[in-house]
A and B are shown apart, each in its own frame.
Chain A
Amino acid sequence: MKKRLLGIFLATTMMATLFAGCGSAAAETPAATTESTATETTEPAAEEVAEAEDTAQADAAEPVTLKWAIWDKDITPYWEALKEAYEAANPNVTVEMTDLGSTDYMTVLATELSGSGSDFDVVTIKDVPGYATLVSKNTLEPLDSYISSAGIDLSQYGGVDKQVTVNGSLYELPFRNDFWVVFYNKDIFDAAGVDYPTNDMTFDEYDALARQVADPTFGAQVYGTHYHTWRSAVQLFGVLDGKHTILDGNYDFFKPYYEMVLKQEDDQICRNYADLSAEGLHYSAAFSGGDVAMMNMGSWFISTLMANIASGEYDASLCGNWGMVKYPHADGVEAGSTLGTITGLAVTSVSEQKQAAFDFVNWVSSAEGAKVMAETGNFPALMNAEVAGIISGLDGFPQDDTSKEALNVSNLYLEVPYAENVSAINDILDTYHKSIMNREMTVDEGIAAMNDEVGKVLGQ
């Protein structure tokens, strides 16, 4: 009797949990079923409302709360600014932010959105590999019908949208678009009596400049350059000629850049990778320490620098006098080509108020959102002269013309464009980047391994 009871108990718990685990997509629970029917019923209604011109009035009657997934609320100024501006423009909408932290943001988000139980309406998409994962898991809503009914002209994003289109559908709208520049510390150049870098440098000129300004004296070391431990900081010099991308499967074009950086390490022109890795040194700490002359980094660092110098978090006597220039370029390639990273907003497929969520996404990525972004010192996806003017006019932005000019990008290549297995490719490149930089493999061995492993992924 008891044996049977125990058996039944075990069997039921097992069944229950298996169901809870695997059936989630099929919406097996009553809660999920009601959720999906609710969506069906509210959707057309919301669309009707959107079609009618007096949206604001109709919405005013019905309070809406949108749940929005973000990261690092305390140190990123624009989340709060966007929320407040949107709520001011749409009094019936309350935007609730949930901070998932930046370290494993996309992992955490993917977990949140798997199966039932998530209540996010809008999620921020931090990188393309994570985006690819979310799309393949069917957790994001295709935005095409919303985009066409809202009459959005996608050409305003300068073609970036095409690099994240999946089988003809778009699942996110970019609202932020960062590009890589070279930051430099004017005080160091002044002290060394070396001319500042310019907006038109070849890699040879850049390398020579780094060597000129560096000072390897022990105890008073000054580094000519600094490369953060990300692979983007070294490898992706190679994609600036527009002929290669990281989805190629053949990475021989990385070689000259690895050789340049490793040689700089050997000559103590830059900190070596093993040290950086052991410390987990953050790039902001490296630059604000006042012993790095030049550092290639994304434009997101501009607002961080300005804010932290203003607040006294960074010692202004060490890094307060900074400037920036365009990325160096290979011989025969136009200056101003650089790497870009977009940040987008997406609507979840479980959201019960997709139209309201899309309205918010649309607003943030539109000209109005762009202005808010620019005022906090960040680069919106909708970049134009006015926006550039707002940013370069901000308190703390370097006032020389070179730095202002550095904001004009001629060609933008995404660090990681969309591909179905981009997540795996990304990790392979990361792994062998580590091996090469840690000197576990020679440059040739590392690149050969990248070619092999990515070849396997692409062959699948």
Chain B
Amino acid sequence: MDAKKAARMEKLEVESADLMKQIRIEMDMKKKQKLIAKRESVQRKATAIRNNRRISREAKRDLVAYSFIAPNFIGFAVFTLVPIVFAFLLAFMKWDGNNTMEFVALNNFKRLIGDTFFVAALKNTIIYVIGTVPLTMIASLALAIVLNQKIRARGFFRTVAFFPYVASLVAITAVWSMIFHPSKGPINYLLLNVFGVPQANLPKWFGGGLVLFTLILFSVWKYMGYYMVIYLAGLQGISAELYEAGSLDGASTWQKFKFITWPQLRATTFFVVVMLTINCFKVYDIAIMLAGGGDGKLSISSTVLVYYIYQNAFNYWDLGYSSAIAMVLFVLVLIVTLIQFRYEKKLGE
């Protein structure tokens, strides 16, 4: 090992001296600089060997690490990071996708304030988030606690609860629009014939004031299975000893939940709430499919931010304005996430 090292050192030194000679002779400044750089690298190599190859091994290690990351990162950088930067820039531009771009500073954002449709979309989105997040969280937690007990056919129940999440939105919203059909659907049929709701008062699930409620109901139904699985995983991480200790202290079921389960699940709940919030702000396809009618257009009572982003981009080709709305969406998500981070940290202390 050492002999090898010495031989390699010698070789490098010879090379270095040789290069030095060449540098002295060389007149062309550019070539000279190149040679100097080359000599420096040779000397670096020599130093590396002298210092037990530490730097060179580090470089090699970095190279290996990067080679692992590269396939994903290149795709990620090109198709995600670059568009994100582009989106930020676009929010300050006026552009129709074909003619030349024009810098308009904050005009797009100023326009937002007076825009009835934007305000409505913002309001509806926020109502939807406020309605969906806590309901889904509670439902999925309750379900997870029930399904974490030793019961028969547990696997079956878990699978069934996860079904709606797996099911395609187009298919499942088609079913929902039939089941909740205002005049023919089985839900309203039951309300009419079993619960005696007068025909004139039967709820129009997809119109008017009820539409957001229906959207929330649907979302809870569709996504609770997903978050249930996450809670289930969280529950399995709680050591059984804690519960045993609780039982010995004579804690009731509610007390056990309050003093063991809930605090132990704090990290999980944090994760669930953050993911839920992000996902809820993105609502678009649910609204289009449940409330869009035949032409896929949303009225003022069901319009949401992403719909308005889409409209401005692909119908009016007002790409700058559409990006400005997207920025509002981003900032909203960011703020809510940060608040949750803070809250979680505070609880942790």
Contact = CB atoms under 8 A, between A and B. Distances in A.
A439 B314 contact: no
A137 B98 contact: yes
B333 to A, nearest CB: 23
Contacts of A276: 293-294
A275 B181 contact: yes
Interface string A120-146: 000000000000010011110000000
Residue of B89, B100, B209, B317 most packed against chain A (CB within 10 A) = B317
Interface stretch (A14-22, A234-242, A386-394): A14-22
Given A115-B97, A137-B98, A272-B183, A438 B295 contact: no
Interface stretch (A179-187, A277-285, A326-334, A407-415): A277-285
The size class of the interface chain B forms with chain A is: 35 or more
Contacts of A280: 177, 292-294
B182 A275 contact: yes
Contact of A14 (B85, B181, B317): B85
Contact of B177 (A17, A110, A229, A278): A278
A279 to B, nearest CB: 7
B105 interface: no
B297 A274 contact: no
Given A114-B97, A137-B99, A278-B181, A440 B116 contact: no
Nearest to A280: B294
Interface in B179-220: 180-184, 204-209
A431 B297 contact: yes
A243 interface: no
B299 A435 contact: yes
Contacts of A366: none
A137 B181 contact: no
Interface in A317-371: none
A431 B98 contact: no
Interface string B293-325: 111110111010000000100111100000000
Given A274-B206, A440-B209, A434 B97 contact: no
B331 interface: no
Contact of A2 (B66, B86, B208, B293): B66
Given A10-B77, A276-B294, A115 B116 contact: no
B78 interface: yes
Contacts of B78: 13, 17
B317 A110 contact: yes
Contact of B316 (A230, A424, A439): A424
Contacts of A35: none
Residue of A276, A277, A452 most packed against chain B (CB within 10 A) = A277
Interface in A136-170: 136-139
B13 interface: no
Given A133-B316, A435-B300, A279 B181 contact: yes
Interface string A265-299: 00000001111111111100000000000000000
B15 interface: no
Interface in A375-432: 423-424, 427, 430-432
Given A229-B295, A282-B294, A439-B208, A453 B116 contact: yes
Contacts of B292: 280
Contact of B300 (A24, A274, A431): A431
A229 to B, nearest CB: 6
A274 B77 contact: no
Contacts of A230: 295
B180 A137 contact: no
B183 A275 contact: yes
B133 to A, nearest CB: 25
Given A274-B182, A276-B294, A280-B294, A456 B114 contact: yes
A107 interface: yes
A110 B314 CA distance: 8
Contact of A136 (B81, B83, B96): B96
Q: Taking chain B's interface residues, is the majority helix, strand, or loop, or is none over half, making it mixed?
A: loop
B73 to A, nearest CB: 9
A64 B314 CA distance: 32
A435 B301 contact: yes
Contact of A279 (B96, B100, B177, B315): B177
Contacts of B208: 274, 438-440
Nearest to B203: A274
Nearest to A114: B97
B82 interface: yes
A110 B316 CA distance: 10
A278 B95 CA distance: 36
B62 interface: yes
B243 interface: no
B109 interface: no
B207 A440 contact: yes
A113 B314 CA distance: 12
A427 B312 CA distance: 11
Contacts of B301: 435, 438, 440
A26 interface: yes
Nearest to B97: A114
Residue of B117, B182, B209, B315 most packed against chain A (CB within 10 A) = B315
B100 A278 contact: no
A234 to B, nearest CB: 14
A448 B167 CA distance: 42
Contacts of B98: 24-25, 113-115, 137-139
Contacts of A274: 182, 204, 206-208
A10 B73 CA distance: 11
A438 B207 contact: yes
A111 interface: yes
Interface string B90-108: 0000011111110000000
B117 A14 contact: no
B97 A440 contact: no
7 contacts: A21-B86, A137-B96, A277-B294, A278-B180, A280-B177, A438-B299, A452-B116
Interface of B: 62, 66, 77-78, 81-83, 85-86, 89, 95-101, 114, 116-117, 177, 180-184, 204-209, 291-297, 299-301, 303, 311, 314-317
Nearest first, the 9 A-B pairs at minimum CB distance are: A434-B299, A277-B293, A280-B294, A438-B207, A114-B97, A137-B98, A274-B204, A274-B207, A440-B208
